[in-house]
């Protein structure tokens, strides 16, 4: 049985669809590896964890960074995700004319999107060179931390993380970029 090829979109085409009103804020989508993917609506625990995560990362990182919530990142020619929280260098006005192209740390909150965030999003963020990818896993009430992006040993065109660790509510973990500022995982859980 043959597979029907999908039409993949570029970030430029995606942005034009937004500019001309084909896609609107009501559509709740993001571009992931050339595919326009529907974003799952947030339940209350998810929204709470996003807010808690942003607050904890602001405290840990301090000045000189922008902690962005659910705003686009321009990751290559085929992806424009809107991570739940992204810590980027600079300030809000630094991104007036273009979305950031990298982040010091990305935090996603997952319940129904857990499998997608562990695979597709992890692959995308690793390929983009995001060194620190945190996943607040609401299903198991743990924080999954992925670090050190690398090509897959089985398939060099696929990317993943060399280190994947789980942290429980009582554990502390510090961002790679701020090793002296640990966050207790309970601060991220609703």
Alpha carbons 118 and 63: distance in angstroms, whole number? 30
Residue 20 lies in a domain: no
> ∠185-189-190 over CA atoms, to 5°?
155
53 is in which domain, residue-wise? 42-187
Alpha carbons 59 and 63: distance in angstroms, whole number? 9
Residue 142 lies in a domain: yes
61-81 pLDDT, tens digit per residue, is 999 999 999 999 999 999 999
Do β-strands 132-137 and 105-110 pair in parallel, antiparallel, or remain unpaired? Answer: parallel
Domain count, the chain: 1
We report the CATH number of the domain holding residue 163 as: 3.90.1570.10
Neighbours of 164 (CB within 10 A): 15
Alpha carbons 86 and 165: distance in angstroms, whole number? 20
Cα torsion at 149, 180, 144, 114 (round to 10°)? Answer: -90
Average of pLDDT values for 159-171?
96
Residue 10 lies in a domain: no
pLDDT value at residue 41: 82
Average of pLDDT values for 165-169?
98
- What does the mean pLDDT of the chain come to? 93
Give residues with Cβ within 8 angstroms of 93, minimum separation 6: none
Alpha carbons 85 and 137: distance in angstroms, whole number? 14
Residue 76 lies in a domain: yes
Average of pLDDT values for 19-44?
86
Residue 150 lies in a domain: yes
Alpha carbons 81 and 2: distance in angstroms, whole number? 30
Residue 31 lies in a domain: no
103-158 pLDDT, tens digit per residue, is 999 999 999 999 999 999 999 999 999 999 999 999 999 999 999 999 987 776 78
13-27 pLDDT, tens digit per residue, is 888 898 898 888 888
Chain centroid to Cα 142, Å, comes to 17
Residue 5 lies in a domain: no
pLDDT value at residue 51: 97
The answer on pLDDT for 12 being more than 80 is yes
The answer on pLDDT for 1 being more than 60 is no
Alpha carbons 152 and 98: distance in angstroms, whole number? 30
Max alpha carbon distance in the chain (Å)? Answer: 55
Report pTM: 0.90
Neighbours of 165 (CB within 10 A): 13
Residue 161 lies in a domain: yes
């Amino acid at each position: 049985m043959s597979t029907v090829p999908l039409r993949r979109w570029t970030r430029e085409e995606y942005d034009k669809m937004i500019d001309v009103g084909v896609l609107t804020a009501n559509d709740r989508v993001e571009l992931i590896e050339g595919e326009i993917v529907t974003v799952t609506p947030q339940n209350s625990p998810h929204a709470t964890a996003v807010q808690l995560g942003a607050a904890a990362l602001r405290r840990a990182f301090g000045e000189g960074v922008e902690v962005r919530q659910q705003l686009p990142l321009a990751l290559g020619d085929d992806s424009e995700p809107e991570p739940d929280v992204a810590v980027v260098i600079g300030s809000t006005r630094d991104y007036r004319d273009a979305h950031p192209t990298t982040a010091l740390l990305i935090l996603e909150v997952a319940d129904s999107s857990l499998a997608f965030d562990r695979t597709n999003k992890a692959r995308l963020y690793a390929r983009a060179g995001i060194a620190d990818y945190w996943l607040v896993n609401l299903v198991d009430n743990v924080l999954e931390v992925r670090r050190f992006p690398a090509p897959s040993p089985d398939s060099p065109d696929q990317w993943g993380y060399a280190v994947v660790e789980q942290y429980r509510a009582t554990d502390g973990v510090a961002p790679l970029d701020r090793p002296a500022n640990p966050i207790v995982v309970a601060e991220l859980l609703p």
